[in-house]
Structures are given as structure tokens and as C-alpha cells.
Amino acid sequence: MGSQVPLWRDARKLAILAQVLFVAGVAAAVWLVKVTVEASLARQNVRINWGFLWQPAGFDLTALTWTLDLRNWRFVPYSPENTYAEAMIAGLINTLRVASVGIVLAFLLGLVVGVTRLSRNWLISRLSLAYVEFLRNTPLLAQLFFWYFAIFLRLPPGTPQHPPLHLFGTLVTLTNQGLVIGGVAVERFGRTLFEGGFQMRSEYAALLIGLSVYTSAFIAEIIRGGIQAVHRGQMEAARSLGLTYLQSLRHILLPQTLRMIIPPLGNQFLNLTKNSSLAIAIGYADLLTAANTVSSQSFRSLETFTVVTMTYLVLSLIISAILNAVRARMVIPGM
């Protein structure tokens, strides 16, 4: 009898063929959409033109930020003399500022709330529950409005008649212009201004706090579920070895929890990054805000928002790739 090809080899070949056909089908669909859109635009006498991106922007951004000078390939402070493309890069930098810091703050806050949700102290656990339920069941946009209009814009302006609000001595200073940590107060033009230190404008601070607090509620539930998924015997064994509750949590429960929750945790990081586009509602100059101004001035909405869509897609893919790499490094050999 002739030798037969093992069944698993046939299955592998079929799987590879199916993947090749799928990729080819996606490519054909993309090409068909491209041709259809171009034909439709041509019938309406509309031509796609990317040259407008190199025209001077001519508008300011509310947040002081840097951009990439595409002619000299160096970072420079943004000004109206920069091009439309550089204005959108400035908005992207602002988006990255909010997303990167917000992800860290949301995770740390969610970690604390998620752990306290399981506290045996009735008051602490109920306060954590109220925190999670209130934030998860109110719209993010309403929360951003609250932080910006009801909190930051209601702060004193920092004039002699209405001096700024100080916290922790003079370490933290709050005015309706923003938040300053460690700055030096200087009286100019009848106002209290600050030099040095870490400064955040009110739009940036409201967006950062709103996104971090809102996302932390979802992360808290993910962490709580992850901790509860670890077998109770792990904690009991750790306590029997003489470890305190916090030591058991840090060295036994949380490492196992983090391995399990990376996929849903990544979804929340992606949501925070995409939700930063709501900055347009409170006037923070992020990518979408800059793109909206570019679109209004250039009348090139299709090209502008194509760039915006692809940029958010690339950001999401980068975050997913980083989390996949982290998950791969956390895998325990043999499990």
C-alpha cells in the first residue's frame, strides 16, 4: 500500500490556504471600495488632493504644544505658520500626552478601587462600589463637562481680590487657568502667574482627570474579577506561610491576576485613547480638534478625516501590540 499523507498535514494546508484566500478577499474588497469611491467622486467632479496638507495652517491651538517640523525633521513649538499637516501632528502629540498619562493614572486608580472592592471593611467596600457604579452609569461627556465647567472654571482666577487655591501648603496651586505643582508665583498684570514646576492648563487637567477617573471604574471591576478568579487556596497558603494580607496580594494574587486580565485591560486602554477625542467638547486641542479646524478651513473633509481615522487605527494597533508583548513575557513556561 502507498504511503498516505497524515490528516493533520492536510488540515494545516487547508488552514494556510483559507488564510491566503481571506487576505486576498480583503485586498480585493479594499480595492473595490477604492475604485467605487473614486468613480463616485469623479462623477461629482470631486478630486482627492493631499497637497493642501502643506499649506500654512494660520490658526492657533488652545494648548501650547510642540509639533514636528516636516521640512527640517525636528520638534518645534507650534505656531500658525506651520502647515496643516504639522497642526494635526501637534494635535496628535496632545492626544498622546493625555492617553499615555491617563492610562497610567487609570490603571493605578483602578487597581486601588478594585482591591478595596474586596475589602472586609463594610464602609470601604461600599464606598468603592458606589464609586464604580456612579462612574460607569453616567456618560463620560457629562463627567468631562462637570470637571471642566463645574470645577476648574469655578476656581478663583488668581487675582489679589480672588487669590489662587493652595493645597499641601503651596505645593499645588489651582486657578481657573489650570493646575501648577511646584511652580514659583509671580505677580504680573494684576494676576498671579507661575514660572517653572509642572503646569497643566484647565482643559488638559479636566480631560485627564475625567478620562482617568471614568476608565478606572471599569478597570476596577476587571481587577476585582481577576482576583476572584484566583483560587482561594492561594491566599490561604500565603497567609499560612506568615505573609501579611498586602504581601500576599502583592506577591501571590496580583501577579496571577495581571496575567489573566491583560486582554480586557487592553480594551480599556484602547477605549481611553479613543475617548480622548471628546476633548473637542471642552476645547482641548487634540488630534480631532485640530483636524476639525483643518477641515473647516481647507474644505477637505474626506482627506482630513481619513488621516484621523487611520491615525487612531495605528494608535490602537500599537497599544494592542505592546500589550500582546507584555502578555507573552508574563507567560509561565509549561503552563
Q: Per the domain annotation, does 330 fall within a domain?
A: no
Q: Of 152, 169, 154, whose CA–CA distance to 208 is shortest? A: 152
* Residues 4-32 pLDDT 10s: 555 556 667 777 788 888 889 988 998 89
More confident residue, 247 or 127: 127
* Residues 49-71 pLDDT 10s: 889 999 999 999 877 788 999 99
- DSSP at 277: G
Element (H, E) at 184: strand 184-188
* Residues 222-238 pLDDT 10s: 999 998 888 878 777 87
AA letter at 304? T
Are 279 and 98 within 8 A, CB to CB?
A: yes
Asked if residue 2 has pLDDT above 80, the reply is no
Please report the pLDDT score of residue 189 as a whole number: 63
Alpha helices in 77-201 (DSSP H): 84-116, 122-136, 140-145
More confident residue, 179 or 334: 179
Q: What is the mean pLDDT of residues 75-91?
A: 94
Q: Per the domain annotation, does 303 fall within a domain?
A: no
Q: Per the domain annotation, does 15 fall within a domain?
A: yes
Q: Per the domain annotation, does 16 fall within a domain?
A: yes
Please report the pLDDT score of residue 248 as a whole number: 81
Q: Of 38, 59, 42, whose CA–CA distance to 296 is shortest? A: 59
* Residues 263-319 pLDDT 10s: 899 999 999 999 999 999 999 999 999 999 999 999 899 899 999 999 999 999 999
- Give the count of domains, the chain: 1
Q: Per the domain annotation, does 184 fall within a domain?
A: no
Distances 50 to 54, 91, 303, 306 between C-alpha atoms, Å: 8, 18, 7, 11
Distances 322 to 3, 200, 266, 277, 287 between C-alpha atoms, Å: 46, 28, 9, 22, 22
Q: Per the domain annotation, does 39 fall within a domain?
A: yes
Q: Per the domain annotation, does 34 fall within a domain?
A: yes
Asked if residue 108 has pLDDT above 80, the reply is yes
Rounded to whole angstroms, the Cα distance separating 259 from 197 reads 37
Q: Per the domain annotation, does 113 fall within a domain?
A: no
- Domain limits at 42? 10-47
More confident residue, 321 or 168: 321
Please report the pLDDT score of residue 3 as a whole number: 54
Prediction pTM value: 0.85
Average pLDDT of every residue of the chain: 87
